[in-house]
């Protein structure tokens, strides 16, 4: 670990290092958000895989990813190199990450079971490599500084950059796919810019051999190839511009059983893990349902791009407020308020009906309200790692963050499974039902409506209940910091 000069007892980070670290999450989100926003839609409506199989593939990949998280966390905690514990994973994992992302979205000229037999292992490999890169990346932020407020600032940089990646994917991915796919296949791109014309264009060509589907597939190939190459560059920038500074106690052994025993005695970690599970159930349901909501309930698929762009811009604007708000109110109190307010605004999406202006107003207000919570969760998880060192004399940064991420991905799997199960139960199948049939089936339309607004709103507001049991307030944090500094300097 690198010994750094402290300012007033705290490890301060340069803007260059914060920016360099943040770019790693832009790289992650190029793939993470393709999976979150478009994977099930791509598999069902582009490749023609059934909702049940598409959801099964997504769940199996996520479960494998989640299983890998604590394994990678333990692995990273026990890694010792001249580059530190976590940075080497970025250096050696970024190229395989880009490669398997491309293969998972390649969409070969296969159908039925042959297509599933190709996609399933490719997607599982992508999720494994994602864990190998992303867990050390997330853990790296916890050991770059020992100051909770400075961590909040670092994570603000991180999630502004992450949401820029999300903005590109959620707001522009389909436009890029249309552009690249149409030019690669000689189609008229201007036709696809109009909802009605594109709908007729897609229906006509699908009847003549799925020509538009082929264009979609080629467009996705080019898109993921571009994102993958940029991601490799960004991960390398993160590797070369960051340093690890917080080390475990010198006398700490490598006993995994003790690590796990004290992890589950770590009350802040347990609370944040539960909050993470509930939050990611909400994220899964809201993100997946949005595409279907705009395509069928509003009958304006392209407007989902505007919705995503405005919501992400609201996040980018609001996230920098995290550090000053944490200084004033403390992490716990701020997180509780964010959960309640954002849950309320997301519930109001239900009552906006088909009013596109109100939908965007409530969504932006909800995103502004929960923006600080995005970086707060990771700041507080790093504080939970400090708590483990303070209370039990064991620092397990990789395990602490990876086990929490494991739980979050289980939450996402639960959310995706619930959505897929509901879709199958209500009889949704894009290969059998026409758009008109779907739009004139009240059960399907009402389900999209509830799962877009009320369900995620109630889930996110409920996080405030669990956060009431979080026991690291400002006074305890100051005491913990002082005692840890004394131990580390002795």
Q: 376 near 335, Cβ under 8 Å?
A: yes
**pLDDT above 90 coverage of the chain, percent:** 38
Predicted confidence (pLDDT) at residue 328 exceeds the cutoff of 90: no
Band the pLDDT of 71: cuts 50, 70, 90. very high
SS (H, E, C) the chain: CCCCCCECCECCCCHHHHHHHHHHHHHHHHHHHHHHHHHHHHHHHHCCCCHHHHHHHHHHHHHHHHHHHHHHHHHHHCCCECCECCHHHHHHHHHHHHHHHHHHCCCCCCCHHHHHHHHHHHHHHHHHHHHHHHHHHHHHHHHCCCCHHHHHHHHHHHHHHHHHHHHHHHHHHHHHHHHHHHHHHCCCHHHHHCHHHHHHHHHHHHHCCCHHHHHHHHHHHHHHHHHHHHHHHHHHHHHHHCCCCCCCCCCCCCCHHHHHHHHCCCHHHHHHHHHHHHHHHHHHHHHHHHHHHHHHHCCCCCHHHHHHHHHHHHHHHHHHHHHHHHHHHCHHHHHHHHHHHHHHHHHHHHHCCCCHHHHHHHHHHHHHHHHHHHHHHHHHHHHHHHHHHHHHCCCCHHHHHHHHHHHHHHHHHHHHHHHHHHHHHCCCCCCCCCHHHHHCCHHHHHHHHHHHCHHHHHHHHCHHHHHCCCCCCHHHHHHHHHHHHHHHHC
Q: In this predicted structure, what is the pLDDT of residue 489?
A: 78
Predicted confidence (pLDDT) at residue 282 exceeds the cutoff of 60: yes
Lowest mean pLDDT among 127-131, 168-172, 218-222, 291-295: 168-172
pLDDT in tens, 213-229: 457 778 888 999 999 99
Q: Say how far apart CA 299 and CA 426 lie, in whole Å.
A: 19
pLDDT in tens, 429-458: 766 777 777 777 788 888 888 888 899 999
Band the pLDDT of 180: cuts 50, 70, 90. confident
366-385: average pLDDT: 91
Query: CA end-to-end span of the chain, whole Å?
Result: 17
Q: 350 near 453, Cβ under 8 Å?
A: yes
373-382: average pLDDT: 90
Burial of 383 (0-12, 13-18, 19+ CB in 10 A): buried
Band the pLDDT of 192: cuts 50, 70, 90. low
Q: In this predicted structure, what is the pLDDT of residue 187?
A: 62
225-228 contact pairs (CB < 8 A, 24+): 225/102, 227/30, 227/31, 227/34, 227/101, 227/169, 228/30, 228/31, 228/97, 228/98, 228/99, 228/101, 228/102
306-325: average pLDDT: 89
Q: In this predicted structure, what is the pLDDT of residue 1?
A: 47
Predicted confidence (pLDDT) at residue 7 exceeds the cutoff of 50: no
Domains, the chain, with CATH or none: 15-243+254-489 (1.20.1250.20)
Take residue 285 and report the two structure tokens written for it: 């349901």
Q: Which residue has the higher pLDDT, 183 or 298?
A: 298
Band the pLDDT of 49: cuts 50, 70, 90. confident
Band the pLDDT of 147: cuts 50, 70, 90. confident
Our measurement of the distance from residue 2's CA atom to the centroid of its chain's CA atoms, rounded to an integer in Å, reads 30
352-356: average pLDDT: 88
Predicted confidence (pLDDT) at residue 198 exceeds the cutoff of 60: no
Q: In this predicted structure, what is the pLDDT of residue 256?
A: 82
pLDDT in tens, 255-277: 788 888 888 899 999 999 999 99
Sign of CA dihedral 282, 285, 288, 292: negative
301-309: average pLDDT: 79
Task: Name the one residue in this structure whose structure tokens are 């002795």.
Answer: 490
Q: 273 near 403, Cβ under 8 Å?
A: yes
Q: In this predicted structure, what is the pLDDT of residue 260?
A: 87
Region label for 49, one of left (φ > 0), alpha (ψ between -120 and 50) or beta (otherwise)? beta
Lowest mean pLDDT among 29-38, 71-80, 341-350: 29-38
Q: In this predicted structure, what is the pLDDT of residue 234?
A: 97
Query: Average pLDDT, whole number, for the chain?
Result: 84
Take residue 217 and report the two structure tokens written for it: 């597939």
9-37: average pLDDT: 86
Q: 54 near 40, Cβ under 8 Å?
A: yes
321-339: average pLDDT: 90
Max mean pLDDT among 144-158, 196-210, 334-348, 439-453 falls in 334-348
pLDDT in tens, 84-138: 999 999 999 999 999 999 998 887 777 778 889 999 999 999 999 999 999 999 9
Band the pLDDT of 193: cuts 50, 70, 90. low
Predicted confidence (pLDDT) at residue 202 exceeds the cutoff of 60: no
Q: In this predicted structure, what is the pLDDT of residue 10?
A: 52
Q: In this predicted structure, what is the pLDDT of residue 86?
A: 95
Band the pLDDT of 309: cuts 50, 70, 90. confident
Q: In this predicted structure, what is the pLDDT of residue 52?
A: 83
Take residue 177 and report the two structure tokens written for it: 């796919």
pLDDT in tens, 454-484: 999 999 999 999 999 999 988 888 899 888 8
Q: In this predicted structure, what is the pLDDT of residue 212?
A: 41
Q: 442 near 332, Cβ under 8 Å?
A: no
pLDDT in tens, 384-407: 989 998 998 888 888 888 888 888
**pLDDT above 70 coverage of the chain, percent:** 90
For residue 48, report the phi and psi dihedrals to the nearest 5 degrees: 80, 20
186-214: average pLDDT: 48
Q: 331 near 152, Cβ under 8 Å?
A: yes
Q: In this predicted structure, what is the pLDDT of residue 185?
A: 62
């Amino acid at each position: 670990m690198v010994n750094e000069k402290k300012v007033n007892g705290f490890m301060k980070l340069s803007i260059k290092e914060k920016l360099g670290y943040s770019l790693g999450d832009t790289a992650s989100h190029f793939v993470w958000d393709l999976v979150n926003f478009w994977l099930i839609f791509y598999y069902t409506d582009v490749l023609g895989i059934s909702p049940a199989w598409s959801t099964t593939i997504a769940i199996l990949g996520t479960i494998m990813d989640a299983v890998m998280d604590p394994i990678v966390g333990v692995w990273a905690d026990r890694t010792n190199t001249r580059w530190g514990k976590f940075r080497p994973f970025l250096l050696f994992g970024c190229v395989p990450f880009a490669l398997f992302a491309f293969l998972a979205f390649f969409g070969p000229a296969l159908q039925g079971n042959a297509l599933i037999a190709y996609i399933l292992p490719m997607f599982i490999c992508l999720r494994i490599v994602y864990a190998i890169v992303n867990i050390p990346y997330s853990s790296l932020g916890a050991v770059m500084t020992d100051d909770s407020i400075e961590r909040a600032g670092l994570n603000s940089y991180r999630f502004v950059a992450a949401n820029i990646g999300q903005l590109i994917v959620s707001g522009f991915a389909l436009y890029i796919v249309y552009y690249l796919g149409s030019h690669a296949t000689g189609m008229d791109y201007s036709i696809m810019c109009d909802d009605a014309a594109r709908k007729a264009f897609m229906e006509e060509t699908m009847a003549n051999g799925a020509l538009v589907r082929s264009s979609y597939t080629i467009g996705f190939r080019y898109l993921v190839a571009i994102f993958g190459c940029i991601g490799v560059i960004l991960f390398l920038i993160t590797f070369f511009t960051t340093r690890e500074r917080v080390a475990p106690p010198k006398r700490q052994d490598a006993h995994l059983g003790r690590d796990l025993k004290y992890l589950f005695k770590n009350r802040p970690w347990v609370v944040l893990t539960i909050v993470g599970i509930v939050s990611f159930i909400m994220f899964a349901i809201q993100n997946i349902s949005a595409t279907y909501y705009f395509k069928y309930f509003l009958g304006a698929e392209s407007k989902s791009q505007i919705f995503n762009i405005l919501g992400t811009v609201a996040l980018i604007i609001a996230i920098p407020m995290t550090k000053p708000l944490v200084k004033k109110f403390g992490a716990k109190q701020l997180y509780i308020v964010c959960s309640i307010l954002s849950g309320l605004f997301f519930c109001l999406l239900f009552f906006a009906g088909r009013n596109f202006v109100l939908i965007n107003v409530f969504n932006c207000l909800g995103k502004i309200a929960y923006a600080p919570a995005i970086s707060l969760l990771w700041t507080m998880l790093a504080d939970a790692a400090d708590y483990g060192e303070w209370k039990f004399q064991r620092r397990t940064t990789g395990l602490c963050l990876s086990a929490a991420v494991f739980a979050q991905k289980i939450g996402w799997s639960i959310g995706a499974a619930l959505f897929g199960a509901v879709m199958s139960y209500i009889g949704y199948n894009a290969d059998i039902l026409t758009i008109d049939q779907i739009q004139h089936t009240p059960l399907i339309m009402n389900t999209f409506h509830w799962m877009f607004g009320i369900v995620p709103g109630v889930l996110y507001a409920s996080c405030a209940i669990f956060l009431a049991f979080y026991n690291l307030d400002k006074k305890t944090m100051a005491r913990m910091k002082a005692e840890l500094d004394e131990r580390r300097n002795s």
